[in-house]
Amino acid sequence: LNKINHLEDLLNQLQIVELSHTLEEHIPIWPTHSKFLHTLWHSYWHGDVAIDHQLLINEHNGTHIDAPAHFIKEGESHIWINEMPLRTFWGPCAVIDLSFLGKLGVVTEEHIRQWEQKHGDIKKDDIVLLYFGWSKLWRKRPEDYEFTHDWPGVGASAAEYLVEKGVKMVGVDTLAIDVFGSTENPAHYALLGNKISIIENLNNLDQMPERGYFAALPLLIKEGSASPVRAIAFVEK
């Protein structure tokens, strides 16, 4: 039990940052995706012994992880969420502040290299989290216009650079990793095509130091293209 006690001890010495949005009705969604619905089913207020709700949920509602098969139709990267190796869902993370880019900004390789010069290299198996400041615009419908339009995204050179680095996962605080209106979706294809999953709609990245330890587990959905997750990070106090 030594290792488990040691791990518990270490975890207790770290702070936890909540990186998820609350799942509730009217949260912003991709225009063509089905909505998140949460409906009372049984209730002790209406004669039942207990209470429970019916969930109707899209795989891409709220803070979620995209599996490679979301965009990759065939070949060795055609991997569903239930087929991704568990260890890809946690690990050391690097948080890159790109909030200066603003509306429709595109991340380039150069932006990431500049961050590395200041904060050290991104290593193989790191999880890279990109903060655009977009989570601050998260509003429930019908006040979701700003969040669901003109968001910044990851360009081809940055996505390819992260693939070269061999990162485990790339996360953003926008609805999608590619810039609003992108028809080519270079980041989705480069990352998912190399079995690197994507986290979208992250929250509170502005509360993170440059480094931390990230974890977000998807539900075990058979042939899932994605899954909602509870994303957190452990950081030094």
The Cα–Cα gap between 209 and 212 comes to 7
Task: Kindly state whether residue 178 participates in binding Zn ion, applying the rule CB under 5 A.
Answer: no
Q: At closest approach, how far in Å is the CB of 102 from Zn ion?
A: 22
Q: Which stretch binds Zn ion (CB under 5 A): 12-20, 57-65, 95-103, 151-159?
A: 57-65
Report how far apart, in Å, the C-alpha atoms of 42 and of each of 10, 37, 52, 57, 154 are.
Answer: 41, 16, 5, 19, 44
Q: At closest approach, how far in Å is the CB of 62 from Zn ion?
A: 10
The Cα–Cα gap between 125 and 62 comes to 25
Please give the size of the binding site for Zn ion, defined by CB under 5 A.
4
Q: Which stretch binds Zn ion (CB under 5 A): 107-115, 183-191, 206-214, 219-227?
A: 219-227
CA-based radius of gyration for the chain:
18
Q: At closest approach, how far in Å is the CB of 85 from Zn ion?
A: 19
- Tell me which residue has its CB nearest to Zn ion: 60
Task: Kindly state whether residue 168 participates in binding Zn ion, applying the rule CB under 5 A.
Answer: no
Of 178 and 200, nearer to Zn ion (C-beta) is 200
Of 64 and 168, nearer to Zn ion (C-beta) is 64
For residues 170, 218, 182, 126, the Cα torsion angle rounded to the nearest 10 degrees is: 10
Of 60 and 195, nearer to Zn ion (C-beta) is 60
Q: Which stretch binds Zn ion (CB under 5 A): 34-42, 85-93, 116-124, 223-231?
A: 223-231
Task: Kindly state whether residue 66 participates in binding Zn ion, applying the rule CB under 5 A.
Answer: yes
Q: At closest approach, how far in Å is the CB of 10 from Zn ion?
A: 32
Supply 159's token pair: 């996505």
Count of positions (residues) in the chain: 237
Task: Kindly state whether residue 60 participates in binding Zn ion, applying the rule CB under 5 A.
Answer: yes
Task: Kindly state whether residue 126 participates in binding Zn ion, applying the rule CB under 5 A.
Answer: no
Q: At closest approach, how far in Å is the CB of 60 from Zn ion?
A: 4
Of 19 and 235, nearer to Zn ion (C-beta) is 19
Amino acid identity for residue 4 in this structure: I
Amino acid identity for residue 64 in this structure: H
C-alpha neighbours within 13 Å on the C-beta side of residue 190: 21
Q: Which stretch binds Zn ion (CB under 5 A): 16-24, 91-99, 132-140, 196-204?
A: 196-204
What beta strand segments (E) does the chain contain? 14-18, 37-42, 52-56, 64-66, 90-97, 106-107, 127-131, 153-154, 169-172, 197-200, 211-216, 226-228, 231-236
Cβ atoms of residues 171 and 199 within 8 Å: yes
Of 29 and 101, nearer to Zn ion (C-beta) is 29
Footprint of Zn ion (CB under 5 A):
60, 66, 200, 226
